Amino acid sequence: MSFLAELDASRGFRVEVLAIGDELLDGRVADTNTLRLALALADLGLKISQRTTVTDDIDAIVREAKAVAARGTQLCVVSGGLGPTRDDVTSEAFAELAGVGMVRDEAQMRRIEERLARRGRPMTENQRKQADRPKGAELIPNPNGTAPGFALRHGGCVFVSTPGVPSEFDAMIANDVVAPLKRRAAPIEKRSLYCFGVTEGEVDARLAPLAELCPSVRVGFRAHIPEIHVSLSAPAQEIGALEKALGFTREQLGVAVFTEDKEPFAKVILDALKKHGATLTVAESCTGGLIGDLLTDIPGSSEVFLGGFVAYGNELKEAALAVPKGLMVDGGVVSEPVVLAMADGAAKVTGATYAIAVSGIAGPGGGSEEKPVGTTCMALIGPKIREARTMRWPFDRRRNKMVSAYAALDLLRRTL
Residue 249 as a binder of a copy of itself (CB under 8 A): the answer is no
Q: Least distance from C-beta 338 to a copy of itself, angstroms?
A: 14
Residue 415 as a binder of a copy of itself (CB under 8 A): the answer is no
Q: Is 364 left (phi over 0), alpha (psi -120 to 50) or beta?
A: alpha
Q: Which of 8, 13, 14, 50 binds a copy of itself (CB under 8 A)?
A: 50
Q: Which of 1, 8, 13, 48 binds a copy of itself (CB under 8 A)?
A: 48
Residues 340-399 that bind a copy of itself (CB under 8 A): 349-351, 362-365, 397-398
Q: Which is nearer to a copy of itself, 53 or 100 (CB)?
A: 53
Q: Which of 299, 326, 369, 370 binds a copy of itself (CB under 8 A)?
A: 299
C-alpha to C-alpha distance for 313 and 293, rounded to whole angstroms: 19
Helices (H), 214-335: 239-253, 265-275, 290-296, 314-321, 325-331
Q: Which is nearer to a copy of itself, 5 or 319 (CB)?
A: 319
Q: Which of 300, 372, 383, 394 binds a copy of itself (CB under 8 A)?
A: 300
Q: Least distance from C-beta 32 to a copy of itself, angstroms?
A: 5
Q: Which is nearer to a copy of itself, 83 or 292 (CB)?
A: 292
Q: How many C-beta neighbours within 10 Å does residue 180 have?
A: 17
Q: Considering only 3-11, 36-44, 144-152, 380-388, which stretch makes contact with a copy of itself by CB under 8 A?
A: 36-44
C-alpha to C-alpha distance for 22 and 29, rounded to whole angstroms: 9
Q: Least distance from C-beta 51 to a copy of itself, angstroms?
A: 4
- The DSSP 8-state label assigned to residue 119 in this structure reads T
Q: Considering only 84-92, 156-164, 202-210, 312-320, which stretch makes contact with a copy of itself by CB under 8 A?
A: 312-320
C-alpha to C-alpha distance for 403 and 103, rounded to whole angstroms: 56
Q: Which is nearer to a copy of itself, 326 or 351 (CB)?
A: 351
Q: Least distance from C-beta 145 to a copy of itself, angstroms?
A: 16
- The DSSP 8-state label assigned to residue 137 in this structure reads P
What is the total count of residues that contact a copy of itself (CB under 8 A)? Answer: 72
Residue 70 as a binder of a copy of itself (CB under 8 A): the answer is no
C-alpha to C-alpha distance for 49 and 77, rounded to whole angstroms: 12
Could you tell me which residues come within 8 angstroms of residue 123 by beta carbon, excluding any fewer than 6 positions away? 112, 113, 116, 117
Residues 173-202 that bind a copy of itself (CB under 8 A): none
What residues pair up with 193 in beta bridges, in sequence order?
Answer: 230
Torsion on CA atoms 69, 71, 75, 79, rounded to nearest 10: -70
Q: Least distance from C-beta 353 to a copy of itself, angstroms?
A: 13
Residues 253-282 that bind a copy of itself (CB under 8 A): 281-282
Q: Least distance from C-beta 138 to a copy of itself, angstroms?
A: 26
C-alpha to C-alpha distance for 404 and 286, rounded to whole angstroms: 8
Pairing of strands 157-162, 188-195: unpaired
C-alpha to C-alpha distance for 242 and 260, rounded to whole angstroms: 14
Residue 247 as a binder of a copy of itself (CB under 8 A): the answer is no
Helices (H), 276-355: 290-296, 314-321, 325-331, 336-350
Residue 56 as a binder of a copy of itself (CB under 8 A): the answer is no
Residues 112-171 that bind a copy of itself (CB under 8 A): none
